[in-house]
């Protein structure tokens, strides 16, 4: 009889082991063992700082594009300002470069306008955006009497 219980125990143990799910047999109701991410709701997406969401594109523009101001190159060297003598009226962006050995700056006066750049070291550049009305403007370097040494010019705006 003992032999019968031992055989029955071995058979029942084998049947129970066969009914247990293995690592490759995962139930749909059990959580995944290979992922550390929390479960998602249906229809949601997960993002990380590395993959920020991109807003949807639209075929209709939200705003009209703005026209960029024309750019005017200005080169400052010892006691000279190199730029055109006439400019068109309207917005302009002066791109000022100090190509000299000394410090220089760019200042513009006329028709109620008076603006200037910071002092520029050798090789530095600066941008100055202004709206020019028709008329005459004086442009000069305000650094250390450079204006009196000839570093000035008159520009006509039409």
Q: Residue written as tokens 């570093």?
A: 151
CA distances (Å), 9 to each of 17, 20, 21, 51, 130, in order? Answer: 12, 17, 20, 57, 97
What the chain holds in terms of domains, given with CATH numbers, is 71-157 (2.60.40.420)
Among candidates 107, 147, 103, which has minimal Cα distance to 122?
103
Within the chain, which residues score under 50 in pLDDT? 25, 27, 30-32, 34-35, 37, 41, 43-45, 47, 63, 65
* Nearest alpha carbon to residue 104 among 82, 84, 86, 89: 82
Q: Which pLDDT score, from 0 to 100, does residue 8 have?
A: 60
Q: What is the pLDDT of residues 42-83, one digit of tens each?
A: 544 454 556 666 666 555 555 454 567 899 999 999 999 999
Instruction: Indicate the length of the chain as a whole number.
Output: 158
**Phi and psi, residue 16, nearest 5°:** -65, -40
* Whole-number pLDDT of residue 34: 47
Q: What is the pLDDT of residue 2?
A: 56
pLDDT of residue 143: 97
Phi, psi (rounded to 5 degrees) for 4: -65, -40
Q: What is the 3-state secondary structure (H, E, C) of 95-127?
A: EEEECCCCCECCEEEECCEEEECCCECCCCEEE
- How high is the pLDDT of residue 71? 93
Task: Identify the pLDDT of residue 69.
Answer: 80
What does each C-alpha distance from 130 to 22, 61, 81, 85, 117 come to in angstroms?
A: 76, 28, 18, 17, 12
Distance CA 116, CA 114 (A): 7
């Amino acid at each position: 009889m003992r032999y019968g219980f031992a055989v029955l125990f071995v058979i029942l143990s084998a049947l129970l082991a066969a009914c247990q799910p293995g690592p490759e047999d995962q139930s749909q109701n059990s959580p995944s063992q290979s992922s550390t991410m929390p479960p998602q709701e249906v229809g949601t997406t997960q993002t990380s700082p590395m993959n920020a969401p991109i807003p949807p594109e639209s075929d209709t523009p939200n705003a009209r594009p703005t026209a960029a101001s024309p750019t005017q190159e200005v080169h400052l060297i010892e006691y000279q300002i190199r730029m055109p003598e006439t400019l068109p009226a309207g917005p302009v962006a002066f791109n000022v470069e100090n190509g000299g050995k000394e410090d220089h700056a760019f200042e513009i006066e006329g028709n109620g306008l008076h603006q200037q750049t910071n002092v520029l070291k050798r090789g530095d550049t600066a941008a100055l955006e202004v709206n020019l009305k028709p008329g005459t403007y004086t442009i000069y370097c305000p650094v250390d009497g450079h204006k009196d040494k000839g570093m000035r010019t008159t520009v006509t705006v039409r």
